[in-house]
Amino acid sequence: MPRLTRLTPDTAAGASRGLLADLVSRHGEIGDMVSTMAHSPAVLDGYLRLSRAMGRAKLDRRISERISIAVQVLQGCGLCLDAHMRAARALGVDEEEIERARAGTSADPATAAIVTLALQIYREPTSITDEQVTALREHGYSDRVIADVVGVVALNILTGAFNLLAGLTPENETGA
């Protein structure tokens, strides 16, 4: 059972009222996470801005989704994990690669290397080495793409931690 209630444009206060009203007018129904984030206008606005910004990332979405899967396995947010596995499938990532992402790797050495980087950013960013970044460049990743990984991890930490705090699970999700 959720720990925090969903808000609507009618029940939200302050800046959250306007943010939710805008989202509803543009997208129709909004999901549990977003409507629950509205308890904190700062969190909701920060999530929306980071999410939009990461939409402009140069990191391939199929790789980004595998990173998200790997991070959410560690973080333990079932709602996020389910969403990212569905997104990966929709992008054509096969079941074997999804299972590899759940294990924090990939059959492709370049993808495995960047997933490894993402997990280090999540677990222990001080362990990242110059040689590791050089190897990522040798796999063809630009500095911009390498930097994008931090944003993907940060967005996953925010959404997963929020969902866990709020008690949002796949079993009690009511919206898209």
Residue whose tokens read 């992402």: 101
pLDDT score at 174: 62
Burial grade of 52 (CB within 10 A; 0-12, 13-18, 19 or more): exposed
pLDDT score at 68: 98
Question: CA-based Rg of the chain, rounded to a whole angstrom?
Answer: 17
For the segment 16-38, the average pLDDT, to the nearest whole number, is 93
Inform me whether the pLDDT recorded for 176 exceeds 50. no
Q: Give, in order, the Cα–Cα distances in Å from 31 to each of 6, 13, 22, 36, 128.
A: 9, 18, 14, 9, 35
CATH of 61-166, one of 3.40.50.720, 3.30.499.10, 3.100.10.10, 1.20.1290.10: 1.20.1290.10
Inform me whether the pLDDT recorded for 175 exceeds 70. no
Residues 6+ positions from 28 with CB-CB distance below 8 Å = none
Inform me whether the pLDDT recorded for 125 exceeds 60. yes
* Cβ-contact 57, 148 below 8 angstroms: yes
What is the C-alpha separation between 45 and 38, in angstroms, rounded? 9
pLDDT score at 77: 97
pLDDT band at 28 (very low <50, low <70, confident <90, very high): confident
CA triple 20-22-24, angle to 5 deg: 70
Residue whose tokens read 């040689």: 131
pTM for this one?
0.93
The DSSP output letter for 70 is H
pLDDT score at 166: 97
Per the model's pLDDT, the better-predicted residue between 175 and 87 turns out to be 87
